[in-house]
A and B are shown apart, each in its own frame.
Chain A
């Protein structure tokens, strides 16, 4: 018997041609295939739920065994980080609020008024090439293709497909992701707040202060979104130094006069303390150095910014520069969402300009809850 006959080869060719046909139809957008995809997702939903019941304990046990030491070290590092952040939190909040008021006065565009919704990450891409996660809300929650997705730290990606109850999010590290960004100058090393207690209080006092302050306890991107007001997102772009350039370390030295002025109109003594600590400080808004396009490069590689012009007479692009979304007519995201920090600059010969490696603020490998910004980019409207 001829095992590898012409007939058998025809079957294989027919299947490959069918694949190519399906691929072409799907890439051009076909409602029948979209409905089939939705239907299959619904059919798979109970199977996946049942599998999760079995898989989750196994996964946790495995992670508990293999990652215990890493978790312990990470916990210690995070505790240190929390201790440092508590010190700067109170003054940072005031800076953000001032910036918010200024933006509102000037009617500038920001994430103002854009509704958002929290969703849970329920799955990740199961192949080794794509950087996609799946979330537990979809069309029924008003999600649409193209909407940007953020978490506490900053930009994560954008929605690329939705079903009724799920959505796929393309992460910023995927090679297909690109978004216009602004590069902001890093704070000068000598003006970086070295004292983490600019109010001159101890960590414990600041913890109490933060705990008693009404409103969100941190100034992270999602908290800003929660307020539903005209807040910019790059609050990390503001640094607080004294008028003479020195870091304020002892607000008690301000004197009663300054304290009296600061207390005018303040009912809450907590506000008084914060205002006093910042009355003689200057908030330096970081100027945009350059605009470019941030592009993902795949799993395990950090994104890069391309299409930059290197003009040292205007600004020198360097490590430590901050990166936020640029916004714009056809941008995938509204302006001023924090993206990351420049950690490397690679100069290229020719007109290509330098390449900047950007370490994202958001750790896209460990995502549990995310927030979808219900902002539909014009470039995605037709989808």
Chain B
């Protein structure tokens, strides 16, 4: 069992998530773009989906989301739902191509982050928050999504390392012996 934990995704994902969470709460609160806080944890969840597919992206998103909720004092599960969906949606990339180019990974990371950010007020709505769809959402979602896309060339390899995903190596089939 210990070996399974050691070789599982959490042993790397959780520490990386903790560092990103700390950065999110300290540095990135200061560095805003058009008044919008860049969501690096959400970006990693989406990048995990783009790197490893829907299932593992959702698991990474769930893990990071629960950590985020616990640290931010939000109801546990509220951000986790959004990040799970972000990872799952970004993982749809695997339906298109097995070994995506960087720009495809960037596009799907952007898409996943956008879905995750949109889901946040939707979840708030179900938890009884009055009027969670603030007007700035039309600025927040594009900024967060584009920032996640810009970060994807760094975060997709980071997510691969966290989830122990190795890039596919395409090997030419052995030549058939000439008759």
Say yes or no: B84 contacts A15, CB within 8 Å.
yes
Q: Verify B21–A22 contact, CB threshold 8 A.
A: no
Given contacts A47-B18, A175-B131, contact A23 B81 (CB under 8 A): yes
Q: Does B11 lie at the interface of the complex (its beta carbon under 8 Å from any beta carbon of A)?
A: no
Query: Which of B27, B98, B144 is close to A51, meaning CB atoms less than 8 Å apart?
Result: B27
Contact B77 A160 (CB under 8 A): no
Determine if B27 and A20 form an interchain contact, defined as CB atoms under 8 angstroms apart. no
B29 and A132 contacting across the interface, CB-CB below 8 Å: no
Given contacts A48-B25, A129-B124, A129-B134, contact A63 B30 (CB under 8 A): yes
> How far in angstroms is the closest Cβ of chain A from B69?
8
Asked whether any CB of chain A lies closer than 8 Å to the CB of B162, the reply is no
Asked if B39 contacts A127 (CB within 8 A), the reply is yes
B21 touches A44 (CB 8 A): yes
Contact: A4 with B58, CB < 8 Å?
no
How many residues on chain B are close to A (CB under 8 Å)? 59
Residues of A with C-beta under 8 A to B31: 59, 62
How many Å from the CB of B45 to the closest CB on chain A?
A: 12
Say yes or no for A8: interface residue by CB 8 A criterion. yes
Across-interface contacts of B134 in A (CB, < 8 A): 129, 175, 297-301
Minimum C-beta distance from B31 to chain A (A):
6
Within B125-157, which residues are at the interface with A (CB < 8 Å)? 127, 129-132, 134, 136, 140, 144
Interface size on A, residues (CB 8 A): 57
Residues of A within 8 A of B75 (CB): 23, 26-27
Contact between B130 and A23 (Cβ–Cβ < 8 Å)? no
Residue from B23, B72, B94 within 8 A of A55 (CB atoms): B23
Residues of B within 8 A of A298 (CB): 131, 134, 136
Nearest-neighbor residue (CB-CB) of A63 within chain B: B30
Closest to B81 in A: A19
Contact of A23 with B62 at beta-carbon distance under 8 Å, contacts A126-B72, A127-B72, A128-B140 already known: no
How distant is the Cα of A258 from the Cα of B23 in the complex, in angstroms?
64
Known contacts A20-B81, A21-B77, A127-B37: A36-B70 contact under CB 8 Å: yes
Query: In the bound complex, how far is the Cα of B30 from the Cα of A261, in angstroms?
Result: 57
B77 touches A20 (CB 8 A): yes
Contact of B121 among A41, A51, A129 (CB under 8 A): A129
- When the two chains form their complex, are residues A18 and B62 in contact, meaning their CB atoms are under 8 A apart? yes
Q: State the Cβ distance, A366 to closest chain B Cβ, in Å.
A: 12
- Interface residue from A26, A125, A176 paired with B129 (Cβ < 8 Å): A176
**B173 at the A interface (CB under 8 A):** no
Q: Which of A9-30 contact B (CB under 8 A)?
A: 11-12, 15-16, 18-27
Q: Are the C-beta atoms of A11 and B59 separated by less than 8 Å?
A: yes
List residues of chain B with CB within 8 A of the CB of A128: 36-37, 39, 117, 136, 140, 144
Which residues of chain A are within 8 angstroms of B132 by Cβ–Cβ distance? 129, 175
26 CB-based A-B contacts, threshold 8 Å: A4-B92, A8-B54, A8-B55, A11-B59, A16-B81, A16-B84, A16-B85, A21-B77, A23-B76, A33-B76, A36-B70, A40-B67, A50-B22, A55-B27, A55-B30, A56-B26, A62-B31, A63-B30, A124-B25, A125-B29, A126-B29, A128-B37, A129-B124, A175-B134, A299-B134, A301-B134
Listed from nearest, the 5 A-B pairs whose CB atoms lie closest are A23-B77, A51-B22, A22-B77, A55-B27, A19-B77
Chain A residues with CB under 8 Å of chain B are: 3-4, 8, 11-12, 15-16, 18-27, 33, 36-37, 40-41, 43-44, 47-48, 50-52, 54-56, 58-59, 62-63, 123-130, 132, 134, 160-161, 168, 175-176, 295, 297-301
- Name B residues whose Cβ lies closer than 8 Å to a Cβ of A: 18-19, 21-31, 35-37, 39, 53-55, 58-59, 62, 65-67, 70-81, 84-85, 88, 92, 94-95, 98, 117, 120-121, 123-124, 127, 129-132, 134, 136, 140, 144
